[in-house]
Amino acid sequence: MPQHSPDWFTEVEPVVADLLDRHLSMAQEWFPHQYVPWGRGRDYDGPLEGVAWQDAQSALSPVAKSALVLSVLTEENLPVYHHRLAANAPRDDAWTAWLHRWTAEEDRHSTVMLSYIHSTRAVDPVALERARMRYMSAPSGSDDLPSDPLHGLAYVMIQELATRVAHRNTGLHCGESVCARLFARVAQDENLHMVFYRDLYAVLLDLVPDRAMAGLWRAVREFRMPGQAIPGFAEMNARIALAGWFDLEIFHDDVLVPLIKALRVRERAGLGDRGEQSRAELLAHTERLRRTAVRFRERRPVAPAPER
């Protein structure tokens, strides 16, 4: 959702409307409450005078707990993302309709993850709530979204795919069947979001090739996963990377390469100087990133198997 209306904004609105219709026909209804193991829940200490949380109450690994914390806090930050995207787009058009639908779907993600955490006692609920309060009320704002519209759309496209892969891998490696099913379901939502933004961006590459290629290159060059301002982000993120659940190599192989292929970045004709230069830098950067990622993997101290 662009912050300001560039010339292509209105022109591409019918495409947004078509992609929204397609999304609505593909998205399957699902209910967060059906994915939560309520039978494993017990009252907590506090007003209900139940049992206080203790680390030993959950058998999940430290990696799985880190993935849960980063995932739920990122998803809980939805009001900030919605505000940033909607602030300058008050119009009643397909862009706004998509934004509202996307927000409604994203809201399920934090709901289902937090309910799972509370019912299974997976992580300390007090520390988690305090981290959420700090993250969302940081004076500088939590996560910044790019203000340039094309850069912003390219960022969201990359972020949706990265989140899809990260959630899918959390489900695959967490070692707990309810957690696995929940993350697989959320990853399905993220996949449809990515497909929406990817197919929209392909149209923009046709419509305004030089600017769209420049926006893509900038988004790749500056990409950072959401949630950087979460307290303890670096440590939890490193734990997840060292375990092989989501690292630079996965980002290259499962996020960047598929997007470059789907958007036909290499094959595109009709680029001007700016577009050609952006493409060349994007492809060179992707290759450098691949080499760095392989070096990281080879130097990893102990990696007999992904930690559970």
What is the contact surface with Fe ion in residues (CB under 5 A)? 75, 106, 109, 160, 190, 193
CB of 106 to Fe ion, least distance (A): 5
φ, ψ at 147 (rounded to 5°): -90, -25
| C-beta atoms surrounding 62 within 10 Å | 14
Separation of alpha carbons 232 and 236, rounded Å: 6
Residue with tokens 């602030």: 87
CB of 254 to Fe ion, least distance (A): 16
Q: Which amino acid is at 202?
A: A
CB of 298 to Fe ion, least distance (A): 33
Between 75 and 307, whose beta carbon lies closer to Fe ion?
A: 75
Between 121 and 193, whose beta carbon lies closer to Fe ion?
A: 193
Between 109 and 218, whose beta carbon lies closer to Fe ion?
A: 109
- Residues 179, 64 contacting (CB under 8 angstroms): yes
Between 75 and 249, whose beta carbon lies closer to Fe ion?
A: 75
| C-beta atoms surrounding 241 within 10 Å | 18
- Residues 26, 105 contacting (CB under 8 angstroms): no
Residue with tokens 């203790």: 54
CB of 75 to Fe ion, least distance (A): 5
Between 88 and 103, whose beta carbon lies closer to Fe ion?
A: 103
CB of 71 to Fe ion, least distance (A): 8
Between 110 and 237, whose beta carbon lies closer to Fe ion?
A: 110
Contacts by residues 135-139 (CB-CB < 8 Å, ≥ 24 positions apart): 135/73, 135/77, 135/227, 135/229, 135/230, 135/231, 136/76, 136/77, 136/79, 136/80, 138/229
CB of 264 to Fe ion, least distance (A): 24
| C-beta atoms surrounding 77 within 10 Å | 21
| Residue 47 DSSP symbol | T
Q: Which amino acid is at 95?
A: W
Both tokens of 72, joined, read 């739920």
Between 109 and 279, whose beta carbon lies closer to Fe ion?
A: 109
What's the sign of the alpha-carbon dihedral 164, 19, 260, 146? negative
CB of 52 to Fe ion, least distance (A): 30
